[in-house]
Structure 1
Amino acid sequence: MDNPDLFDRTARRLRRNRAAPDYAAHDFVRATMLDGIAERLDAVTREFTDILDLGCFDGAFTVPGSRIARCDAGFAFAKGAGGVQADEDRLPFADASFDCVVCAGVLDQVNDLPGALTLIRRVLRPDGLFLGAFVGAGSLSALRTALRLAEQDRPVARLHPQIEVRSAGDLLMRAGFALPVADVETLNVGYRDVGRLLGDLRGMAATNILVDRHPLGKAALTGLAESFAAAADDQGRTREKFEIVFLTGWSPDPSQPKPARRGSGTASLTAALTPKP
């Protein structure tokens, strides 16, 4: 039996379509992700000819000299970037189609994340590179606190479950990636009011798309604004943070370095830890 979806696929497509026309005014989180991905890509001493930009948004990711296929769950983003529309856990591409897959800003909204990562590995050629980034655990802590204070009597899940960096690394291993690495960087943003934050979340297609979601009532919305404002610093801004988890993994290939066989070491740990006279 298939597991029920956590996220509403239809709502996700509609939210992405709504965000597309003005996305450039709210793209700062993904821009930070793409900067980090570019740094990691620059550190690799090889060229990639066929790249998949998965969750392409407005097609801002570019690599000079490479062919880039675009894919997005939203029709408006996919059409605007000249790509195809598809969910990350339902990819339409043949195995071994790309030597690099980049996925920035969408993996935290995928129903079957282990399945999506497995599909990403499958569409990679042997020794192909996967670079991903998404908003992870610890993000939107100010908004989460303000919501909890505003709805003390009837708390409702309004923010998506968030993935810790260690769990992200485990998911890469489960999906069959070689040499997996997961690390995190923090982006801090100051907001004068919660409306600005909610506007950014809508503009980046990052609002609540849980299947089980409920509207925020007028009283709760007022309480949310008051609680968020009460956390402001001496400059009148409430600090919100986005914990960006970066993923790096390689499609397995015999040419890749292998971990040393257990017991193959030639140096004694006891000798290394014994103080020298």
Structure 2
Amino acid sequence: MTEGPIEHSVPRIFSPARRRARYHRALARQGDQDAARFVFDDMIEDVLERFDFTRAEPGSTLVIGDVTGQLVPELRSRGFEVESAGPDGLDEEQPFPRTYRYVLNLGLLDTLNDLPGALVHARHALEPGGMMIAQCLGAGTLPALRQVVQVADGARTYARIHPQIDRPAASGLMSRAGFAKQVVDSRVLRARYGELGRLIADLRDQGLAGILADAPPAFTRPAWARAQAGFEPLREEDGKVTETFEILSLTGWS
């Protein structure tokens, strides 16, 4: 069977320059021992559990996007030959320079303009029988923040939170990319916040803040006051607000 190119038009949703800048800011913020890491802790734990479940033998591995720097040393301690890359050094929307037994992507897949093409390139970057695991935020993420920014913007709303991928769409994209077999799972993390500013800081710490190509205007002081006011009705009995992070795990084999 001859494999032809996947034809599609590439939307302009995200800014690659803002994506790279966000990654560098997160790397710098991770230098603070109190920086939030819980989303990446969960992603890394899931990757390692999948390696254990599939009895993955050591092999050449590319880790993309781990701002915490925790996955590479863990894999090396298990005998894997590991390279690390970020969006500043690797364009996931272009062919990879070499092939690997494993390609692991943490927290970046959902901010690509050409996601179908990127998945094809990731598959082509796998050796025969190789495995890709990508972890990213899914469609159930940040419902509380969505409500808050709507209140803050008032009658004239702006796109401030990224469009997100749900499980059926992710599964369809994996099949379309031509993986020999694929699995898409999702799970939910919940975090509790007493202050809106802490939620925003946690997103920035982990490189999860907005990078839309058409950047919305910055909050004015009145808008920030409205945002904080919009945060108040979401408080539960203990005075805190629950925010939700849906994590998608996309696993595919060449």
Kept in 1, the 8 Å contact 2:11–2:114? The answer is: no
Aligned to 2:233: 230
Aligned to 2:160: 158
The two structures have a TM-score, normalised by structure 1, of 0.82
CA separation in 2, counterparts of 1:13 and 1:46?
A: 31
Aligned to 1:39: 49
What SS does structure 2 have at the residue aligned with 1:26? coil
Amino acid in the other structure paired with 1:47 = E
Q: How does 1:138-149 map to 2 (within 5 A)?
A: 138-149=140-151
Aligned to 2:93: 89
Amino acid in the other structure paired with 1:49 = G
| Aligned partner (choices 56, 62, 82) of residue 68 of structure 1 | 82
Amino acid in the other structure paired with 1:236 = G
After superposition, the Cα gap between the structure-2 partners of 1:142 and 1:205, relative to the gap in structure 1 and judged at 3 Å, is same
CA separation in 2, counterparts of 1:122 and 1:28?
A: 31
Amino acid in the other structure paired with 1:250 = W
CA separation in 2, counterparts of 1:142 and 1:46?
A: 38
Q: What residue ranges of structure 1 are gaps of 5+ in the alignment? A: 75-84, 252-277
Once the two structures are superposed, residues 31-66 of structure 1 have per-residue CA deviations (whole angstroms, 9 ceiling, x without a partner) of 101111111111013403101102232431132101
Q: How does 1:116-135 map to 2 (within 5 A)?
A: 116-135=118-137
| Aligned partner (choices 170, 174, 178) of residue 180 of structure 2 | 178
Aligned to 1:99: 101
- Structure showing greater relative contact order (alpha-carbon pairs closer than 8 Å, 6 or more residues apart): 2
Amino acid in the other structure paired with 2:90 = A
Aligned to 2:212: 210
Amino acid in the other structure paired with 1:86 = L
Kept in 2, the 8 Å contact 1:48–1:100? The answer is: no
Q: Shift of the alpha carbon at 1:4?
A: 4.8
Kept in 2, the 8 Å contact 1:101–1:131? The answer is: yes
Once the two structures are superposed, residues 6-40 of structure 1 have per-residue CA deviations (whole angstroms, 9 ceiling, x without a partner) of 11111111122122122261221011011111111
After superposition, the Cα gap between the structure-2 partners of 1:3 and 1:179, relative to the gap in structure 1 and judged at 3 Å, is closer
Q: What residue ranges of structure 2 are gaps of 5+ in the alignment? A: 1-7
The two structures have a TM-score, normalised by structure 2, of 0.89
Q: Shift of the alpha carbon at 1:68?
A: 0.5
Larger Rg: 1
Amino acid in the other structure paired with 2:197 = G
Aligned to 1:20: 27
> Higher mean Cα deviation, 226-235 or 115-124?
226-235
Aligned to 2:18: 11
Once the two structures are superposed, residues 250-274 of structure 1 have per-residue CA deviations (whole angstroms, 9 ceiling, x without a partner) of 00xxxxxxxxxxxxxxxxxxxxxxx
Q: How does 1:244-263 map to 2 (within 5 A)?
A: 244-251=247-254
Q: Shift of the alpha carbon at 1:142?
A: 0.2
